[in-house]
Amino acid sequence: MTTSGAAAPADWDARRAGPGGLWRRLRVLVGRRARAAVYRWRSSMQVRVVTSALAVGVVTVALLGEFLSTSVRDGLFEQRVAQLDLEAAHSAVIVREAFASAPVTSTADVQALVITLADTRRNGASSARGSMLASSPDASAALNTVASPQWMARDDVTSHALRAATLASDHQMWQSVMIPAAFSESGHDEPGVVFGAAVDVPLGGKFGLYTLYSLQPEQETLRFVQRTLALGALAIVALIGVITWLVTRQAVTPVRRAAATAARLADGHLSERMPGKGYDEMATLARSFNEMAASLQDQIRRMEALSTAQRRFVSDVSHELRTPLTTIRIAGEVIHSARDELDDGARRSAELLQQQLDRFEELLADLLEISRFDAGAAVLDVEQRDLEGIVSAVVDTATPLAERKGVFLSVHLPDEPAVADVDPRRVERVLRNLVVNAVEHAEGKPVEITVGANAQSVAVVVRDHGIGMTPEEVAHVFDRFWRADPARARTSGGTGLGLAISLEDAHLHAGRLEAWGRTGHGASFRLTLPRRAGLSVEDPPLPLVPTPRALTGLPTGQIPVVMPAEGPTPSAIPDLSALPDVEPSTAPAPQGREARA
């Protein structure tokens, strides 16, 4: 026997999995289908309305069907029992008259008459299934119970309770019974009713006359009615579902169309409109929606025109100011070079003029850079560089400011070179902004610069232990001209655009610039760049949120501090164990070369 190559491994896997594996697969499959059904139900208003209507319809039809079925059953039974009661009473009268008029001289004549009447009762009643004459306990022993057919004498057909009640009462008695399948004409159990009436037998005393009637025709009628009700219920439920689906479709379709149109408007397709015909509520909604969309389109176009004009104005003003600024710069340098010949007030004014000219020039340069980003004219001059050299240049530039602030800079580098395709000028500007801001807000405490790399990306984390930031401040730290404390003086001459430009530089590299801060525990900024230009950043090699050990990989309370060329001894090394509980990062802690300034 041959076996296909595809079927054999599957069969082998099934045998290896066993019943437990098959049960797990079935449970997973059922779970997926159930989740898909729940999602479908929760995501579609039409499905929810149809299922709710069907549920209400099923419950209503079931209750109504049960009520109708019970009413029909009770009506058929009561009506048939009433008819049979009259028939049985009439038969009992005939038997009594036969006993009263028959000439009986001996018990043998009585016995023969009883047998004849029993046979006559069974054959004479049109719907009777059997008849029986049973003597009372005090009757003559010569007279026996006569039943036609014989199974009429069974206790499950004519019970002892019915016999006793019949002989003890002058009224006709009846009892519901179940005709056994062995004695029924249909071959299965049939419902029936037995009527009993007392009769006087000459020379024999009181006898009970019992007549059995089958209710199988009524049972068939009831089943036909129940089948008809069930089919009608199914048809009604299906009709409810179809009607509900059609009605909800008419109501939901315009809503779906409005949602799709709104989504396209949100994507920037401002000319998208809803089709609206007629004068109903949905047509009114479509017209109102279209009017709103037209108003939004007009406002957005006016805002875009205003924004374009503002960007052009900033760019033009920045360019136009460079010429007078150059003239003022030349005049200021002449005055500044001759400051020794001036009096103290004029000398101080010359120095202030030089400082403010520097800030003015930086502000113009930042404004021009922002205008290039807004106009989409900023481009990268990419080359492969190791971030070590860029970080070293930034540290060398920030060292004089750190000396004045009494801040100690430390750098930690990875074992492997952190080489990536970057624009060195822009990356250096980003890191310079981060380091200068960290030194300004460090309040004399150390600042750590950590470089990390993995197979896909490189990262630099700048961490200070100064005043920190609240979550609200972190959310606005990259906004233009935003300051956490407007009353705090900028000793380094910042323009308020540094972090905004840094964020644009990071996005231009397809990278990320992120911030974390906690009041009283400093702040942390992470620049993550892809190793290859144009790729996305997925898993940063360094954690943004600091932890006692993930920050430097050293024991708690120890930080590698690099002293500046000249400066005082640090007053205190911050204890990292004082940091608040934060979620530990899964990124590996940097391990590598000794830090250097």
Q: pLDDT for 241-289, tens place per residue?
A: 999 888 888 888 888 888 888 888 888 888 888 887 777 777 888 888 8
Cis ω before 564 (30° cut-off from 0): no
Identify the residue with better confidence: 254 or 54: 54
Distance spanning both ends of the chain, measured CA to CA: 79
Q: Measure CA 571 to chain center.
A: 54
pLDDT in tens, 315-334: 677 667 777 877 887 888 88
Name the percent of the chain in helix, strand, coil, to the closest 5. Answer: 55, 15, 30
* pLDDT at residue number 235: 93
- Predicted confidence band of residue 233 (pLDDT cuts 50, 70, 90): very high
Reply yes or no on whether the pLDDT at 62 is more than 80: yes
In the chain, the domains with their CATH numbers are 105-217 (3.30.450.20), 274-378 (1.10.287.130), 380-484+495-578 (3.30.565.10)
Q: Residue range 436-464: average pLDDT?
A: 91
With a cut of 80, say whether residue 369 has pLDDT above it. no
Q: What is the pLDDT of residue 564?
A: 32
d(C-alpha 514, C-alpha 517), whole Å: 10
Q: How confident is the model at residue 59, as a pLDDT?
A: 93
Longest CA–CA separation in the chain, Å: 173
Whether the predicted model's global pTM rises above the 0.85 cut: no
User: 113 — phi, psi (to 5°)?
Assistant: -65, -40
What is the torsional sign of CA 282, 286, 291, 293? positive
- What token pair was written down for 573? 């090394």
Looking at the chain, the whole-number percentage of residues with pLDDT higher than 90 is: 19
Return the pLDDT at 174.
93
Residue 540 DSSP SS3: coil
Mean pLDDT, rounded, for 351-355: 81
Question: What's the token pair of residue 378?
Answer: 């900023």
Cis peptide before 275 (omega within 30 of 0): no
Give residue 565's pLDDT: 30
pLDDT at residue 306, as a whole number: 78
What is the rounded CA–CA span in Å between residue 144 and residue 111? 8
Question: What whole-number distance in Å separates Cα of residue 8 and Cα of residue 16?
Answer: 12
Q: Residue 484: what pLDDT?
A: 62
Distance CA 133, CA 91 (A): 13
- Rounded to whole angstroms, the Cα distance separating 513 from 503 reads 6
